Amino acid sequence: MNVGAGRSLRPPKAILFDLDGTLVDSAPDIAAAVNELLASRDLPPLRLDQVKAMIGGGVRKLIERAFAASGAPLVGNALDEANRVMAPIYSRHLTGLTRLMPGVREVLTHFYAKGMAMGVATNKPQLATREILLHFGLTEYFRAIIGGDAVTCLKPAPDALLLALAQLGVDPCDALLVGDSGADAGAARAAGVPVILLRGGYTHFPVEELGADQVCDSLFDLPAAMQGLQAGA
C-alpha cells in the first residue's frame, strides 16, 4: 500500500535496514535490561508493551523514558550515571530473547543473490549491533553497519544513513531505507532517501501516518513494495 507522496522510485543500488523492530524483535531483551536497571534502584519492573513503546532514540533516551514511567525521572548527571550503569547490563541482554522478524533471512538472501549493496543504520550501539547480526549469521549480507555511537546525531537525523551510504559508495537518491518507526521516516526524509516502513515494529503511532513512501506487513512483501514504487503505484 502506497501511503507516501506517490513518487516513483528508480531501482535502488543500495538498501539500508533499521535493526530493532525491522530485522530483529529485540524488545524482550531490551525490556529485560531495563528491568534489571530499575531493580538495581529498587523500582518495579515495566511491562513488555511499555518498554516496546519506549524504544527509539538510543539507549540514553530509553533510560530516560523508563525512569519517567517508573515515577523516578532522571536528568543531567543522574541520567548520565544511569546510562553508564546500563552499558554492561545492556550488553548481557542482546540475543537471549531476541528473534528475527519474519522474512529477514529470505529477503536478505534474495537481494544478496542479485548483488544488491546492503547496510544497517541503527540507533543501537555499534558493538551491540554487530553482536546481534553475528549471532544470527547476518553480517555477510551487509557491507556497511552503522550504530548510533558511530555518528554525532541519532535518527531521525540523517547521519547514520549518510555514513552508511558513503561506505557503500551510493548516493542517497539511489538508495532505499527499510524501517519501522517515525525516526526511520524522519532520517530518510532528511537524507533524501525513499523509505518503506513495516507494520508490527516499534512506534507509538500508526505506521500509515508516518509519511512513508510505502508500508508493508512484513519483509516478505518488500520486493513487491519496491516494484510498486518503481511503477509509481
User: Among all residues, which ones are annotated catalytic?
Assistant: 18
Q: E strands within 8-123?
A: 14-17, 24-25, 99-100, 117-121
> Is the peptide bond preceding residue 223 cis, with omega within 30 degrees of 0?
no
For residues 73 and 80, give the distance between their C-alpha atoms in angstroms, rounded to a whole number: 12
For cell 527499510, name the residue.
178
Residue type, 174: D
Q: Give the cell for residue 120.
A: 544497517
Q: Give the cell for residue 210.
A: 508516518
Q: Give the cell for residue 6.
A: 506517490
Task: Tell me the pairing of strands 117-121 and 14-17.
Answer: parallel
CA 9 to chain CA centroid, nearest Å: 22
Residues in the chain: 233
DSSP label at 20?
A: B
For residues 39 and 91, give the distance between their C-alpha atoms in angstroms, rounded to a whole number: 17
What is the DSSP code string of 89-105?
Answer: HHHTSSSSS-EEPTTHH
Residue type, 31: A
